[in-house]
Amino acid sequence: MNRFALPVFLALAACAAADEIDDRIQAAVARLESEDAAERDGGEIDLEELAAEAPEKVKALLRHADPEVCARVERVCRKTGLVKSPEVDRRREEIFRELAFSAKESPLREELVRELLDLGPRTAALVARELHEGKYAGVAERPAVIAPESKGVTLRVRNTGALGCWFRPERHVVVQDLQPFGIRPGNATGWGGGLGGIVMLRQGGSTPEDRVVAHLAGLTRVPPGGTADFGTSGRVPGRCGVLNLTGLRMNYAGKLEAEFQGVTLKLPETDPQCAPGTRRIVLGPTESEHLAAVAVRQDDGWALEITALDDRPAAEESDTYDNFWWAALGENEAWLASGAMESTKEERAALKKGELRRVPLRAEIPEGSRHLWLGYDENFKDVQAVADPVSLEENKK
């Protein structure tokens, strides 16, 4: 084959393609110039299709002599993202701000989502990126003190990426792990359990577009650097200890995908991943029908005095935990530390009804402590006795 044949052929093919696009543009302009409204609408649709193939040639039509043709071309350019529109950008940011609130706060969210996706391919493409590239992480907080059997614990997430992220609180299950205060040095464990729940993906609507819109309307958009809170619905344990809470992000159930403005929006099918996490200190006097507890002052420190209200077995032995424990709070009820009272085997022996036993606190209380709690876990399950806290500040006087 002649070595000049292929380049010549490719050049001729390119010219033919360019001529075809020019012909289509001229045909679209002719329809825009028509006196028939339906024809003008059809010409606008033709230009939208040509915008991706010949963006510069479509934009050149903005200089057309006919004002209505110019207006329609400008609308096509804004809709397809060939030119930026301050009005479109402003409205997009307004809708983003609306969607930053909880889904329960606005009954018109589906309308807002539809309007958002109708702003043009550039906006639809941005939403598609955010759905897949948005990043968030749990916010580290100082452990707060809550009472046993409290209902509702708030976890906070922060957007750590450069894009907005779309977050559905109900798509998380919160796993709780209660670590007893009497844990011995070098150990770390606890009891597991569920707190909160999973809401199945909303599948309302008869078309893929309806289903995607319905799902997005149930999400909260968190802007870059912003935070969002979600709360659990279950109760925390009815016993004292260090409660570690971890939110697990669950898979989306089913495939959700639809096309908007020529852009495919696909809900990511993510693997379960750790999301927010937080810690709470569960503390409060607990009533027991088996044991009474009171903190008493001694010459050399503090002790826990327990009285058996019926015959009680020996404490359940554990290499990990001491059945007798302490917890210290600082200023503003801030948790400082907790640990084992370092009891002896004799102090953990069985009790007869009415028998009183005093166990001294042998551990050192951290500096800055304001309140001291002392307690006893007979079996680390359902028998616990906790004394009212003592004010260390008042006892210094």
| Least confident residue range of 125-139, 165-179, 255-269 | 165-179
Q: Summarize the confidence of residues 77-104 as an average pLDDT.
A: 80
| Least confident residue range of 109-118, 239-248, 267-276 | 267-276
What pLDDT score does 86 carry? Answer: 78
Structure tokens at 352: 């007869």
With bands split at pLDDT 50, 70 and 90, how would you rate the model's confidence at 105? Answer: low
Higher pLDDT, 142 or 207: 207
* Phi-psi category of residue 219: left, alpha or beta, with phi > 0 → left and psi -120 to 50 → alpha: beta
Q: In the chain, what are the domains?
A: 5-80 (no CATH), 88-282 (no CATH), 291-396 (2.60.40)
Cα separation of 330 and 389, whole Å? 12
Higher pLDDT, 45 or 352: 352
Handedness of CA 83, 89, 95, 99 (dihedral sign): positive
The predicted-structure confidence for 335-368, as pLDDT tens digits, reads as follows 898 999 999 999 999 999 999 999 999 988 888 9
Count the Cβ atoms, other than its own, within 10 Å of residue 142. 10
CB-based contacts of 221: which residues, under 8 Å, 6+ apart? 96, 99, 100, 130, 164, 165, 166, 167
| Least confident residue range of 42-56, 260-274, 284-298, 359-373 | 260-274
CB-based contacts of 179: which residues, under 8 Å, 6+ apart? 188, 189, 190, 241, 242, 243, 244
The predicted-structure confidence for 178-200, as pLDDT tens digits, reads as follows 888 888 876 655 445 554 443 33
% of the chain at pLDDT higher than 90: 22
What pLDDT score does 8 carry? Answer: 47
With bands split at pLDDT 50, 70 and 90, how would you rate the model's confidence at 203? Answer: very low
Q: What is the mean pLDDT of the chain?
A: 80
| Least confident residue range of 87-101, 132-146, 375-389 | 132-146
What pLDDT score does 220 carry? Answer: 85
Higher pLDDT, 372 or 6: 372
Rounded to 5°, angle at Cα 61 from 60 and 67: 140
The amino acid occupying position 364 is E
What pLDDT score does 12 carry? Answer: 47
Query: Which stretch of DSSP H or E encloses residue 17?
Result: helix 5-32
Confidence check: pLDDT of 225 > 70: yes
Q: Summarize the confidence of residues 241-253 as an average pLDDT.
A: 71
| Residues in the chain, total | 397
What pLDDT score does 4 carry? Answer: 47
Confidence check: pLDDT of 100 > 60: yes
Cα separation of 244 and 277, whole Å? 8
The predicted-structure confidence for 284-296, as pLDDT tens digits, reads as follows 877 789 999 999 9
Contact present, 377 and 321 (Cβ < 8 Å): yes
Q: What is the DSSP string of 174-242?
A: EEEEEEPTTBPTT----EEEEEE---PPP--SSSHHHHHHHHHHTSEEEPTT-EEEEE--SBPPSS-EE
Structure tokens at 170: 């109900």
Q: What is the DSSP string of 57-118?
A: HHHHGGG-SSHHHHHHHHHHHHHHTSS--HHHHHHHHHHHHHTTS-GGG-TTHHHHHHHHHT
Count the Cβ atoms, other than its own, within 10 Å of residue 347. 19
**Averaging pLDDT over each range in 6-10, 17-21, 246-250, 297-301, which range is the top one?**
297-301
Packed helices 67-80 and 37-53: angle between N→C axes, nearest 10 degrees: 50
The predicted-structure confidence for 298-340, as pLDDT tens digits, reads as follows 988 999 999 999 999 999 888 888 999 999 999 888 889 899 9
Distances (CA, A) of 213 to 125, 202, 257, 263: 15, 10, 10, 14
Confidence check: pLDDT of 254 > 70: no
Higher pLDDT, 47 or 3: 47
Chain centroid, CA 337 distance in Å: 29
